[in-house]
Amino acid sequence: MKIAILGATSEIAKDLILSFSAHDEHELVLFARHPKEAMQWLSMANLSNKHAIYDFESFHHVADLDAILNFVGAGDPSKAIALGGSILKTTETYDYLALEYLKENPKCKYIFMSSGAVYGENFIEPASASTQTPLSINQIEPDNYYTAAKIQAELRHRNLSNLDIIDLRIFSYFSHTQSLNSSFFMTDIMRALKNNEIVTTSSQNMVRDYLSSTDLHQLIQKALLTSRINLAVDCYSKAPVDKFEILSQLRDKFGLRYQLQEGVVGVNASGNKLNYYSLNHSAQHFGYVPSKDSITSILTEAKLICHGESLGHSV
């Protein structure tokens, strides 16, 4: 397949590019807002001669695409909050870029990276097929714009039911390639571990479902091979994990030092969620079977980080 990847400097996109490249799969055409940054990363990953990289102005000159994967967005929660309402326009701009291509080339498949945030902030229970989104339009908070941007995109896609579009709702993701300068729970922990510091986290427990790069690759491969469909799919691993299990495992295996604090600690672009994962496993209907559970993925990636094998730190 000839596949365009929009937002090639996204950390999740880079993991997928590595996975595709390792298996010599697909002809990739990469697009980025900062092509020089993408070229630097390709060189570091020994992929300089393997994939073409362009700015978005060149997208209209690309022909014969079989699929478009859209990773454009604010991956770091602190950046998402800083963008505020402008994230709505950013998401819309690059979404329309793909949709206009599909309208002219209806055989092309479009996979949009959405988020579990579309379910809103009420994660007292995990999401399911019957969960409704309670987004207050009378009191918009800074962390609501990221959610709204993904909801708007999904609504646009469902309204174009004649086009082949899959929205992948990613809940949590962790990889050794991620920059430890970002503001996620796991990067905060790994940064403290690398720097031999004590990490502070809320005393309130939470449950997360961390998708591995291996299962992201598998899920996208399955999505690429589906017959023409237009729907949203929740991403999931073999099993979620709670925060205290993560902390205790990293303490026992890597010497993590941590302390608990009452109240909210850290940054969350889409609200404070106790059970941020989904029981809606509809992806199994097109052959997706996750290979790793969350804690296995975390321990595997943590080992790579502690051994200095991360590609993410110098980009």
pLDDT in tens, 53-74: 999 999 988 889 999 999 997 6
* Residues 183/266, Cβ–Cβ less than 8 Å: yes
Average pLDDT over all residues of the chain = 89
Confidence of residue 49 (pLDDT cuts 50, 70, 90): confident
Question: For residue 269, is pLDDT > 60?
Answer: no
pLDDT of residue 264: 63
Region label for 271, one of left (φ > 0), alpha (ψ between -120 and 50) or beta (otherwise): left
Domains along the chain? 2-177+209-238+278-292 (3.40.50.720)
Residue 80 to residue 74: CA distance in whole angstroms = 5
Retrieve residue 182's tokens.
């970002």
* CA 245 from centre of chain: 23
Rounded (10°) angle between helices 144-158 and 86-104? 20
Other beta carbons within 10 Å of 174:
25
- Give the residue among 175, 174, 177, 154 at the shortest CA–CA distance from 166: 154
Tens digits of per-residue pLDDT, 102-138?
999 999 999 999 999 999 888 999 999 988 876 666 6
The pair of three-digit structure tokens given for residue 108, joined into one six-digit string: 């092309």
Q: How far apart are CA 73 and CA 221, in angstroms?
A: 21
The answer, yes or no, to whether residue 311 has pLDDT greater than 50, is: no
Residue 62: how many CB atoms within 10 A of its CB? 15
Q: Is 268 left (phi over 0), alpha (psi -120 to 50) or beta?
A: beta
Which two tokens mark 45? 């990953």
pLDDT score of 80 more than 70: no
Locate tokens 């714009």: which residue? 145
Report the phi/psi class of residue 98: left, alpha or beta, with left for phi > 0 and alpha for psi in -120 to 50: alpha
pLDDT tens, position by position, 131-176? 887 666 666 666 788 888 999 999 999 999 999 999 999 999 999 9
Could you tell me the two tokens for 281?
Answer: 């496993």
